[in-house]
């Protein structure tokens, strides 16, 4: 399968004849190199309801007639926006035509900030989640936005994780040191850092992180925005 890093936490996975897009934050993303109109998607997976992850989900889904997979509350909100959805929740799994998706815990916030003139509100959009994908004979873990938590030790217990996408930006999520420990706990064979260098608060050195992974016997792969890899 071919994997493309879209920037921030966005990932495009092309598996068999399917295009899966995770957290498509394109509009307003200063490092994005693709227009949302050019993204093809059969399914869109959204880890949580913050704007830098929900991103252009509605527009991409409507243009491609794609199904959005997300937690129940977020899926319900998107359904109200005219988007085809499949709601799930933490600990649950479902086998789709492309493979299996399981929602894992993620320790973070959620909610969409909405302004209507002088009125401002935050719409609650369910619990944040990570994604555990089984695609053919490969297992991929996308942690979403999360801090370090000890139950990560259970994620790779039943199925070895071939590839993990872990946030390293700090401030809002794990920083590099905690992400390094997360990689060990998940027992990932290969790790790609995400959620870094999009904004000044998230400045990190992904190559130093990758070297630290290698010292632990874990393959670290840094993808530039638009960069691709074969798994």
Q: In which element (H, E) is residue 112 found? A: strand 112-116
Burial of 76 (0-12, 13-18, 19+ CB in 10 A): middle
- 73: number of CA atoms within 13 Å, CB side? 15
The pLDDT profile of the chain, 231 residues, written as one tens digit per residue, is 999 999 999 999 999 999 999 999 999 999 999 999 999 999 999 999 999 999 999 999 999 999 999 999 999 999 999 999 999 999 999 999 999 999 999 999 998 988 888 889 999 999 999 999 999 999 999 999 999 999 999 998 888 999 999 999 999 999 999 999 999 999 999 999 999 999 999 999 999 999 999 999 999 999 999 999 999
Q: Using alpha carbons, list the distances in angstroms from residue 98 to 19, 31, 129.
A: 9, 29, 20
Q: Is 150 helix (H, G, I), strand (E, B) or coil?
A: coil
For strand 138-142 and strand 129-135, is the pairing parallel, antiparallel, or unpaired? antiparallel
Q: How far apart are CA 98 and CA 30, in angstroms?
A: 31
The closest of 172, 84, 83 to 128, measured between CA atoms, is 172
How many structural domains are present in the chain? 1
Instruction: Show the CA angle centred on residue 132, arms to residues 33 and 173, nearest 5°.
Output: 60
Range of the domain at 33: 2-230
CATH number, domain containing residue 114: 3.60.15.10
Structure token digits, residue 50: 């913050």
């Amino acid at each position: 399968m071919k994997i493309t890093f879209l920037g921030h936490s966005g990932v495009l996975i092309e598996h068999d004849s399917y295009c899966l897009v995770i957290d498509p934050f394109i509009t307003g993303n200063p490092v994005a190199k693709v227009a949302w109109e050019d993204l093809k998607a059969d399914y869109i997976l959204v880890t949580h309801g913050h704007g830098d992850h929900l991103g252009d989900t509605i527009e991409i889904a409507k243009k491609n007639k794609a199904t959005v997979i997300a937690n129940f509350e977020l899926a319900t909100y998107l359904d109200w926006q005219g988007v085809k959805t499949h709601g799930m929740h933490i600990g649950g799994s479902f086998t789709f035509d492309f493979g299996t998706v399981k929602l894992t815990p993620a320790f973070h916030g959620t909610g969409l900030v909405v302004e209507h003139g002088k009125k401002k509100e935050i719409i609650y959009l369910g619990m944040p989640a990570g994604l555990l994908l089984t695609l053919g004979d490969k297992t991929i873990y996308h942690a979403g936005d999360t801090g370090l938590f000890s139950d990560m030790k259970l994620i790779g217990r039943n199925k070895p994780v071939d590839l993990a996408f872990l946030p390293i930006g700090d401030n809002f999520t794990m920083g590099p040191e905690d992400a390094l420990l997360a990689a060990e706990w998940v027992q990932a064979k290969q790790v790609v850092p995400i959620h870094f260098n999009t904004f000044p608060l998230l400045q990190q050195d992904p190559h130093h992180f990758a070297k630290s992974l290698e010292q632990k016997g874990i393959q670290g792969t840094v993808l530039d925005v638009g960069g691709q890899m074969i798994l």
